[in-house]
Amino acid sequence: MRRGILYGIGAYAAWGFFPIYWKLLRHVPAIQVIGHRIIWSFILLIAFILATRRWDEFRVVANAKVIKIYLIAALLIALNWFIYVWAVNANFIVETSLGYFINPLLSVLMGVFFLKERLRFAQWVPVALAALGVAYLTFVYGRPPYIALTLAISFGLYGLAKKMSPLGSLYGLTIETGILFVPAVAYLIMMDFNSTAAFLHVGITSDLLLIGAGLVTTIPLLMFASAARSIPLWFVGLLQYIAPTIQFLLGVFLYKEPFNHSQLIGFGIVWIGLIIFWVENYLANRSPIEPIPELGEG
């Protein structure tokens, strides 16, 4: 169990420190970064499946029907990755953290509307507080927090799709990146023909970082998968807040993004809702609602 806890902390911490990695690629268009992330992730996942002698099992489960099921999930996670990388390099890390703070509460609402789940009265309190916090920040910004909402909605819908999918995180992500592999390769080849590609044209450091996008995607995923098998679900639910907390701290203290008292009030309302949400679920079930970080955040 101790090893599972360390793996879980490691996975969420890695997701939390993602902004530092993507900042190193800020000179590369976000859509090219995502193209390489898809390509190298798929290659590494296939290599891992082969190395662990799971190819025969994977080949059986990755049939045409399953691939169709994962098509929507693939499109949603590609959108989520793109918005996140773009937002990080456009200096919106604080707002991206808000998206992942409100995601668990948004996922609860999706369960109500799409899966006909019922909430206890006390569970509506944090949902209402999250809505209040977003409304307050809309007033403060003079606009809705589009980035946070887009990340939360896309990742929430992705989680909903994964909840209704038949495979675990390893095979699921392999199929998702496999669906996107050919379009990603085609796009990057087109960019190369247009002389706008970064890979092999900007420098060896950029090339290694683009290839490494596959590593930083797959390693935390495998760590999380190992952790989820060996530690209680309530503990996994607690750990999920490590990532957006680190992202928030990086945005404010490392990258010096603006964060004033008015924003603190809005975030504070959301944080209070999250505390109530987690405590209520823990007391009621000793097992908070399962997060869906199958892919990692960002």
Domain locations in the chain? 2-285
Q: Taking the model in full, what pTM does it have?
A: 0.91
The pLDDT assigned to 292 comes to: 46
The pLDDT assigned to 110 comes to: 85
The pLDDT assigned to 159 comes to: 84
The pLDDT assigned to 180 comes to: 97
CA–CA distance from 217 to each of 21, 42, 199, 224, 292 (Å)?
A: 11, 10, 18, 11, 15
How do the pLDDT tens digits run along the chain, 298 residues long? 678 889 889 999 999 999 999 999 999 999 999 999 999 999 999 999 999 999 999 999 999 989 998 999 999 999 999 999 999 999 999 999 999 999 888 888 888 888 787 888 888 999 899 999 999 999 999 999 999 999 999 998 998 888 888 888 889 999 999 999 999 999 999 999 999 999 999 999 999 999 999 999 999 988 887 887 777 766 777 788 899 999 999 999 999 999 999 999 999 999 999 999 888 877 776 544 444 444 556 7
